[in-house]
């Protein structure tokens, strides 16, 4: 197979994540028409596609062109997102007697979080499908990323964000020229405003899992983890779950790479851990059987703004990943996150988002509980930079 063919998108169709009904991948789609639930992208993974088809000279997530949904490279809206480093946390590992502790640093993405991956993909596809403007309810980072990619694409951008979000998130949206609506409440209240403000559907709503392509951007973290670890995988991946696109996306990538033969049959898939904030942990509550689902869950704000998602649309998909991977779900308090931020800063020189610190604290608790063992290879996902959260943690460096 030659390199040209391998750089052509293998996207074939979309399917409803609940009932499987196929949907066209060549028209603008939102949620599924049948169940009003997330649509997932299907690729032709049976035709041979060698790992040599990865565009190794492209130091962004776009190196995996063939398994991404964009048909025409000219529609790519990129700020250099993805292919973030996996850092060896030797100092922290030394202190806690761990054999292999690594962190994929998504804080190094454009706009300072992994939301860049999803929004780069969603805005690129929106451009390809002729969309003129986008709208999003956000806890902060997704709105900033959407505003940046819309600016680059020349599209109108409308962002609805909780009023209590640190000023740095709002300010950056203004700089990109977005229209920002401040809402009293959490992201679900922002979503209610978006539904009303965009009742005529003039703008594309790029809410988590309400269009099929943000998750395709997020899944590139899974491809990168495999490639960067030389096609082996860690024993455990800890992920800070809000809406869950990263968790679902990384698992989707692992399944695709198995089908492609990029991961050998004997490579064991990692146990996936969803980490949430104690003040908003709907997935933990459902996973532990304390509620049937998150439909009525009421969350409170947390310093990890990205985790304040009380009623995630992708709840069932996240639960599937936890069960299939034999993972678990755990919640971390805000005070513990600050402690984790201090440790990562002092010992590793990393100023991570509270979400990333939560993941480290979850690892510590799972080690103490014996669920994680010190000899296992542990990968922490730091999903964002701490910079924009300064107002949440200022002066708490100890």
Ligand X SMILES: *Cc1c(COP(=O)(O)O)cnc(C)c1O
Q: Which is nearer to Zn ion, 19 or 56 (CB)?
A: 19
Of residues 106 and 348, the one with the C-beta less far from ligand X: 106
* Residue 16's binding partner out of Zn ion, ligand X, none, with CB under 5 to 8 Å set by partner kind: Zn ion
Specify the residue, 302 or 383, whose C-beta has the smaller distance to ligand X.
Answer: 383
From CA 29, how far away is CA 125, in angstroms rounded? 11
The correct pick among 7, 13, 18, 188 for binding Zn ion (CB under 5 A) is 18
Beta bridge partners of 179: 158
Residues in the chain: 398
Q: With beta carbons less than 8 A apart as the criterion, state whether 228 and 51 touch.
A: no
Q: Which does 384 bind (CB under 5 to 8 A by kind): Zn ion, ligand X, none?
A: ligand X
- From the list Zn ion, ligand X, none, pick the one residue 32 interacts with, judged by a Cβ distance below 5 to 8 Å according to partner type: Zn ion
Token pair 């030659």 is at which residue? 2
Residue for token digits 């990384």? 250
Which 8-state DSSP code applies to residue 43? E
Closest CB to ligand X among residues 69, 107: 107
Structure tokens at 123: 């805005």
Taking CB within 5 to 8 Å according to partner kind, which of Zn ion, ligand X, none is near residue 141? ligand X
Cβ atoms of 66 and 7 closer than 8 Å = yes
How far apart (Å, rounded) are the C-alpha atoms in residues 358 and 344? 11
Q: Which residues bind ligand X (CB under 6 A)?
A: 113, 115, 141-142, 208, 240-246, 306, 309, 353, 355, 383-384
- Residue 35's binding partner, choosing from ligand X, Zn ion, none, with beta-carbon cut-off 5 to 8 A by kind? Zn ion
The least distance separating Zn ion from the CB of residue 95, rounded to whole angstroms, comes to 49
Sheet strand arrangement including 133-137:
179-183, 156-162, 133-137, 204-205
Q: What x-and-dash track marks residues 277-296 binding Zn ion by CB under 5 A? A: --------------------
CB of 155 to Zn ion, least distance (A): 29
Q: Which is nearer to ligand X, 137 or 234 (CB)?
A: 137
CB of 244 to ligand X, least distance (A): 4
Residues 22-51 that bind Zn ion (CB under 5 A): 32, 34-35
| Strand pairing class (11-16; 39-43) | antiparallel
Q: Judge residue 184's burial from the number of C-beta atoms within 10 Å of its C-beta, 0-12 exposed, 13-18 middle, 19 or more buried.
A: exposed
Which of ligand X, Zn ion, none does residue 383 bind to, with CB < 5 to 8 Å depending on kind? ligand X
Q: Does 345 bind Zn ion (CB under 5 A)?
A: no
Give the Cα separation of 248 and 101 in Å (integer).
22
Closest to Zn ion by CB, 35 or 168? 35
Smallest distance, Å, CB 56 to ligand X?
Answer: 27
CB nearer ligand X, residue 53 or residue 384: 384
Question: Which one, 262 or 389, has the nearer CB to ligand X?
Answer: 389
Q: Are 62 and 55 in contact (CB under 8 A)?
A: yes
Least separation in angstroms between residue 119's CB and ligand X is 11
- Minimum Å gap between C-beta 97 and ligand X is 28
Give the angle subtended at the CA of 338 by the CAs of 337 and 344, to the nearest 5°.
85
Report the candidate in 355, 292, 287, 365 with the shortest Cα–Cα distance to residue 326: 287
CB 132 within 8 A of CB 106: no
Phi, psi of 396 (to 5 degrees): -95, 20
In the list ligand X, Zn ion, none, the entry touching 137 (Cβ below 5 to 8 angstroms by class) is none
Choose the contact partner of 306 out of Zn ion, ligand X, none; CB within 5 to 8 A by kind.
ligand X
How do beta strands 133-137 and 204-205 pair? parallel
User: At 282, is the secondary structure helix, strand, or coil?
Assistant: helix
**Residue 79 neighbours by CB distance under 10 Å:** 16
Residue 246 binds which of Zn ion, ligand X, none (CB < 5-8 A, kind-dependent): ligand X
Q: Which is nearer to ligand X, 273 or 353 (CB)?
A: 353
Per CB under 5 A, residues contacting Zn ion are 16, 18-19, 21, 32, 34-35
């Amino acid at each position: 197979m030659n390199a040209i063919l391998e750089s052509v998108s293998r996207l074939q169709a979309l399917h409803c994540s609940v009932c499987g009904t196929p949907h066209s991948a060549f028209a603008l789609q939102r949620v599924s028409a049948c169940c009003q639930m997330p649509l997932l992208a299907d690729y032709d993974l049976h035709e041979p596609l060698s790992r040599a088809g990865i565009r190794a000279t492209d130091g962004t997530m776009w190196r995996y062109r063939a398994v991404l949904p964009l048909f025409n490279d000219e529609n790519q809206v990129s700020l250099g997102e993805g292919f973030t480093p996996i850092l060896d946390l030797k100092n922290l590992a030394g202190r806690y007697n761990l054999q292999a502790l690594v962190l994929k640093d998504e804080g190094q993405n454009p706009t300072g979080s992994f939301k860049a991956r999803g929004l780069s993909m969603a805005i690129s596809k929106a451009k390809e499908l002729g969309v003129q403007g986008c709208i999003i309810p956000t806890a902060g980072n997704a709105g900033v990323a959407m505003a940046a990619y819309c600016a680059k694409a020349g599209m109108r951008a409308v962002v609805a964000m909780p009023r209590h979000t640190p000023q740095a998130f709002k300010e950056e949206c203004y700089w990109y020229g977005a229209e920002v609506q401040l809402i009293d409440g959490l992201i679900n209240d922002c979503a209610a405003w978006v539904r009303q403000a965009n009742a005529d559907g003039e703008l594309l709503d790029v809410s988590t899992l309400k269009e099929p392509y943000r998750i395709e951007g997020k899944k590139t973290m899974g491809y990168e983890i495999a490639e960067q670890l030389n096609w082996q995988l860690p024993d455990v991946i800890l992920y800070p779950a809000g809406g869950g696109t990263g968790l679902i996306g990384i698992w989707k990538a692992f399944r695709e790479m198995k089908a492609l033969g990029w991961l050998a049959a004997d490579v064991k898939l990692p146990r996936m851990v969803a980490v949430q904030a104690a003040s908003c942990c709907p997935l933990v509550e459902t996973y532990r059987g304390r509620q049937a689902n998150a439909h009525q869950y009421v969350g409170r704000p947390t310093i990890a703004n990205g985790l304040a998602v009380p009623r995630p649309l992708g709840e069932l998909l996240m639960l599937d990943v936890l069960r299939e991977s034999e993972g678990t779900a755990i919640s971390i308090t805000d005070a513990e996150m600050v402690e984790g931020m201090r440790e990562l800063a002092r010992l590793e020189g990393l100023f991570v988002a509270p979400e990333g610190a939560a993941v480290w604290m979850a690892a510590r608790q799972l080690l103490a509980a014996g669920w994680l063992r010190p000899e296992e290879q542990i990968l922490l996902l730091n999903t964002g930079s701490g910079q924009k959260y300064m107002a949440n943690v200022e002066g708490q460096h100890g």
